Amino acid sequence: MRKRLVFLMVLAALLLTILPALGDTAKGRIEDFTVEKTECGYTVILPEEHARQGYYKLFWMDKDTGEIRKDVFTADTPSYQIPAGGKTEYSFALFYARKRGALPASWDGDKPKEPKGPSVWKMLWINAESTEIRGTANHLNEANHQEIDRAAKDFEALVEEFTEGLVDIQITRISIDGPLTDASYVQQRGYILEPADINADHLARFQYDSIFVFSRMDGVYITYGGVTVKPDSPTNDPGYSFIALIGDGPNAMAGADMAHVCVHEWIHQLGFYFDWFKLELPDPDKPEAYGYEAGATLDLQMLKDALTMKTRTQDGRYIGMPPEAWQYKPGKRPAKWNLSYLQDQAVPEDQRLPETEPAAEETEEPVQTDRDPEIYGMLDEDGIRYENAAMGLNCTLENWIWYTPEEYFAVYTIKPIMTSEEEAANFTDAVPVAFAEDSEGPHNVRLMISYPTESFLEQYDEAAYLEHLKELLEQYAPEAGLEDCTCEIVQRPVGDRMLSGLKSSFTTCGIKNYMTDLMWMDGDQMNQITAASYMTDECDDLLAHFGTLEKAGKDLKY
């Protein structure tokens, strides 16, 4: 009996020694490990004396691709080497269990958690009450405030309906009294209020998921109804859109309903943000690419499909917002996951978009045209100095963008002022030669070469030709929608030449336009320089950038 008692006392003492050690060994996720980056990759240093036996499971995820890898090793392993070249960066998770089979099957971060209730999307709507852009002042009035209030209510209702209850829109409204004078000029779009112009970091960063700014833009050069700015830091900066109002209602270029415009722009915000998660959202500016009517950029079915991942692609996939992705919102410093697997659903065969005609194969032989390439001139490698020997001109424009005629017409549509086909036929068949657009303000210049289609200049001199063009402009201005039209014949120096032309101004879509067209005959070739500026008259300054060259001494084909 005494021997048994002694044995039990010794066993108890041993258990008292061992059990605390086992009890101190935490199971599950481990935080006290370190990672060191080396020239060859990473060294994961495991916690010392965490356990005498058992197993660790290490997960590591590529922050660029979202790829997750894992490995299992015994508790006596001092460190683990991960080779990684270049700038590859990983995030890590470490788990411990006494038995190998008790380890987690997956890291809880390798897929999104199931959402619990709707995702609250916090939005800041800002009224920019007063602006002054290039001397043009605007103020929101009571009718504008009512329009923005209505748009906020309708936007909230539309999004919550379109997302089928998965998103809860919460809008906070504030005003900036201004006046704001630091509007930004965006090439091909016009003036907008960008995040820096309203100090968006101070107002919204880490507090809101999305920003909408509203301002009145009467008389300001714009070519849009709403515009969305790509954030510098997608995971930290909220989405940002600017909505322009004209008069007492929404901008006519935005469509009839401002709430629909806001949904359209919000989808652009989501596209910029979720691209970081490898999710593809449709471009609402290109509805025809997804089987919707061309030009129907505010089609409600298209907008709804984008927010519920029902948009079909030409290659038979569904894209848009997966339900599981709404929990990932800007400004919350989420881990960078690759969520592309959420868009692996194929469109059923009987619902796929009709196949489009394949693009014509490019041939090695260049396409032949009847236009001599020399009429297009040459631009230096810095994109600053342009020379055209066919016209005998040079031009130096720093920080400007030069376009080929095809590139320019893909963006702009030039409508002739002369609406009478008979009158237009009496004059010229112009060939576009070059276009340049200011990257810092609303100004452009263009060059053209033409022949008079009838012998007007053989009967009359250049002065009579310009006088007749002036009469036509004044006659057809009302039909072309040009208000407050003025026109005069002028002479302007270009290099060593004194050239005659027409100087005109008019208002269209509420914006003041100024143009100077200089024309001169060189044999039977008519050359033309057009300088245009908007909001303020800077045509003379633009023409001062042109000089003269010796004209090429050969016949050119047009």
CATH number of the domain to which 382 belongs: 3.40.1000.10
pTM for this prediction: 0.75
Assess whether 84 and 189 both reside in one domain.
no
523 belongs to a structural domain: yes
DSSP, collapsed to helix, strand or coil, labels residue 57 as strand
From 196, 197, 264, select the one nearest 228 (Cα to Cα): 264
| Torsion, CA 301, CA 307, CA 311, CA 315, rounded to 10 | 160
> What's the pLDDT score for residue 426?
54
- Please, how many CA atoms are within 13 Å of residue 547, restricted to the half-sphere of its CB? 9
* Residue 32 structural domain: 21-102
Q: How far apart are CA 127 and CA 139, in angstroms?
A: 10
Is 216 found in the same domain as 253? yes
8 A C-beta contact, residue 446 and residue 434: yes
Query: What is the β-pairing status of strands 226-229 and 210-216?
Result: unpaired
Q: Are residues 71 and 138 in the same domain?
A: no
Residue 5 included in any domain: no
**Domain of 185: which CATH number?**
3.40.390
Which of 102, 127, 154 is a domain's end point? 102
- CB 353 within 8 Å of CB 290: yes
Give the C-alpha separation, 351 to 346, whole Å: 10
**Residues 436/395, Cβ–Cβ less than 8 Å:** yes
DSSP H helical segments within 31-186, as ranges? 142-162
Q: Is residue 201 part of a domain?
A: yes
> Which CATH number belongs to the domain containing residue 57 in this structure?
2.60.40.10
In this structure, is residue 114 part of a structural domain? no
The total of structural domains in the chain comes to: 3
Residues 533 and 432 in one domain: yes
* pLDDT tens by residue, the chain, 558 residues: 454 444 444 444 444 344 333 444 557 888 888 888 887 788 998 887 777 788 899 998 877 666 788 889 888 888 888 887 667 788 889 999 988 888 888 876 656 556 567 899 999 999 999 999 999 999 999 999 999 999 999 999 999 999 999 999 999 999 998 799 999 999 889 999 999 999 888 887 778 999 999 999 999 999 898 999 998 887 778 999 999 999 887 766 666 689 999 999 999 999 999 998 899 999 999 999 999 999 899 999 999 999 999 999 999 999 999 998 998 887 665 555 788 889 988 999 889 998 776 555 544 443 344 567 788 889 998 989 999 998 999 999 999 999 877 776 665 555 555 455 555 555 556 788 899 999 999 999 999 887 665 556 666 677 888 888 888 888 888 888 889 999 999 999 999 889 999 999 999 888 999 999 998 888 778 889 999 999 999 999 999 999 998 776 555 555
* Residues 379 and 492 both lie in one domain: yes
Does residue 521 sit within a domain?
Answer: yes
In a domain, 432, yes or no: yes
pLDDT given for residue 232 in this prediction: 85
Query: Is 14 part of any domain?
Result: no
- pLDDT for 102 equals 82
86 with 194, same domain: the answer is no
Same domain, 126 and 226: yes
- Rounded CA-CA distance 134/224 in Å is 18
Tokens for 485, please give them.
């039209």
Per-residue pLDDT, 449: 85
Q: Are residues 434 and 497 in the same domain?
A: yes
3-state SS of 369-414 is CCCCHHHHCEECCCCCEEEECCCCEEEECCCEEEECHHHHHHHCCC
- Locate 327 and state its tokens: 């929990």
* Token duo for residue 414: 């030039």
Same domain, 537 and 481: yes
Q: Identify the domain boundary among 334, 349, 364.
A: 349
User: E strands, 331-381, where?
Assistant: 378-379
Bridge partners, residue 539, by sequence = none
Residue 37 belongs to a domain: yes
- Asked if residue 437 and residue 380 are part of one domain, the reply reads yes
> What is the pLDDT, as a whole number, of residue 255?
60
Residue 91 shares a structural domain with residue 123: no
Task: Check whether residue 471 and residue 515 sit in a common domain.
Answer: yes
